[in-house]
Structure 1
Amino acid sequence: MPTRNRGPHPNDARLFGEKYHPALRAATDDLCWLLGRGYGADSALQLVGNRYRLNKRQRMAVGRSSASAEAVARRKGRQVLLSELAGRRVAIDGFNLLILLESAFGGGLVLQGRDGTYRDLAGVHGTYKNVQHTVPALKLVGEALREASEVVWYFDAPVSNSGRLKTMLRELSEAEGYGWEILLVNNPDKELIALPDEVVVVSSDSWILDDGGSWCNLGRELLGEGKGLEL
């Protein structure tokens, strides 16, 4: 079993301690306001980051936590609860969900966005390595979605080791009877957005939530309330 852990960044305890909460939340308020008035996400984040003197990681957290009020309302209007997934077709944004769960299980920073989703600050950066919490995270998802009529995982084919991860999921699915289909595609976001609305997408990716159809906030439902830092 891997001993690696997708745990906290060494500076997160300081960068996201209570001392910085007022500035981080004010920056998030300002960014949400600017997004609601049509400002570009990158330029608006630079503006608020400079105003509150946030470093790169703090800016990333503010950016991932923010959304305009209109975007939040649209996203919530298409949200499907875990309790409503029995008999439904489900498509999973693979790395998005898996890395969130791995990070949370390892004690990494989890953010609660203004749209209610949980997000992490980890990412794969071109390569993926499974950690000691990978299999427990996958089993948690598998048990939660047993009643779905179909579960398809979408992973980024260009990411190194995605093929090995696909093999791991296939073997786990066969052993546990999950009935998963695992796809490696060049652009999962594009594929997931193009799915028909009767397919419920599991993701916290802002682009997917804005341009796709029905979706489930599965990461938060599995981890439970109060697990994310709310900015």
Structure 2
Amino acid sequence: MKFEERMKALEVPLLDVRFLLDRRYPKDYTINFVSNHYRLIKEDRNVLFRIACEKKLSEERMKKLVSIDFIKGKSVVMDGYNVLITVESLILGYPVFLCDDGVLKDIRAIFHRYRIKKETKESLEKIKTLLSKYLPKEVIFIFDAQISESGKLSALTREIFEEMNTSVLTSKDADYQVKRHKDNVVATSDGNIMDNVRNIVDIPSHVGEEFGYPYYKPTTMRFCLSG
């Protein structure tokens, strides 16, 4: 089945997931229940999990989203692997979705198996090109130290961003370190981080718009009674 056909087939399951989430059913239970009902494969279950979010929580997160213009003169803190992997997915043509909470997410699930590739450099260069246009005061990359190539990736990032005021850090608890910068502008699509910071910029979506990379926009309807 072609990707477009698969996504069309997932519209009703997605609406059912939203229906249950909006009535405060637990997300894991909801995804399993709906996926079992429609006999979905693992990848399609992951798509639903990534896209769907309870309406009130989605609205709270979207209120924190800022435009790319907002970063001028401000500190931008990058949730390193989160942003990089999503931008790579855009470049490689893998499915990337505009999710209910207003940010782009991919479904590759390669975080702990991440390896540097030629698209890594291309992704970092495109992120730099984008940021350079909007003149942030500084850029702070935070990478998870437990990923095997974080040292090499940090060195590559420093090299590419050497002309900008940029710090590149690694941490055994990267999420915690990113959340410590809650008063700055944070680039992430991680829900836990989004819930704990004040201003969020969706760098992958702006890279997509700047360089013409497409991403999938699911239906925004939120109610369905299926048979």
Distance in 1 (CA, whole Å) between partners of 2:197 and 2:24 is 20
| Cα displacement (A) at 1:201 | 0.5
TM norm structure 2: 0.87
For each residue in 1:119-138, what CA deviation from the matched residue of structure 2 results, as whole angstroms up to 9, or x when unmatched?
11123342321122211211
Aligned to 1:161: 149
Distance in 1 (CA, whole Å) between partners of 2:23 and 2:16 is 11
Aligned to 2:179: 193
Distance in 2 (CA, whole Å) between partners of 1:24 and 1:37 is 20
Q: What pairs up with 1:31-42 in 2 under 5 angstroms?
A: 31-42=17-28
Structure 1 unaligned runs (5+)? 1-13
The answer (yes or no) to whether the contact 2:116–2:149 under 8 Å persists in 1 is: no
Distance in 1 (CA, whole Å) between partners of 2:34 and 2:101 is 19
Aligned residues: 214
The residue identity in structure 2 corresponding to 1:157 is A
Runs of 4+ deviating beyond 4 Å? none
The residue identity in structure 1 corresponding to 2:141 is W
| Cα displacement (A) at 1:95 | 0.7
Query: Any idea what SS the aligned residue of 1:126 has?
Result: helix
Is 1:128 aligned to residue 111 of structure 2? Answer: no
Distance in 2 (CA, whole Å) between partners of 1:23 and 1:188 is 37
Question: Once superposed, what is the RMSD of the aligned Cα atoms?
Answer: 1.8
Q: What pairs up with 1:167-178 in 2 under 5 angstroms?
A: 167-174=155-162, 177-178=163-164
| Cα displacement (A) at 1:118 | 1.3
Alignment identity in percent?
28
For each residue in 1:173-205, what CA deviation from the matched residue of structure 2 results, as whole angstroms up to 9, or x when unmatched?
22xx022111111122222223232x0100111
Is 1:148 aligned to residue 136 of structure 2? Answer: yes
Aligned to 1:16: 3
Distance in 2 (CA, whole Å) between partners of 1:191 and 1:99 is 19
Query: Any idea what SS the aligned residue of 2:28 has?
Result: helix
The answer (yes or no) to whether the contact 2:86–2:105 under 8 Å persists in 1 is: yes
Is 1:223 aligned to residue 208 of structure 2? Answer: yes
Q: Tell which deviates more after alignment, 114-123 or 92-101.
A: 114-123
| Cα displacement (A) at 1:15 | 6.4
The answer (yes or no) to whether the contact 1:89–1:150 under 8 Å persists in 2 is: yes
Is 1:83 aligned to residue 69 of structure 2? Answer: yes
Distance in 1 (CA, whole Å) between partners of 2:101 and 2:138 is 26
Structure 2 unaligned runs (5+)? 219-227
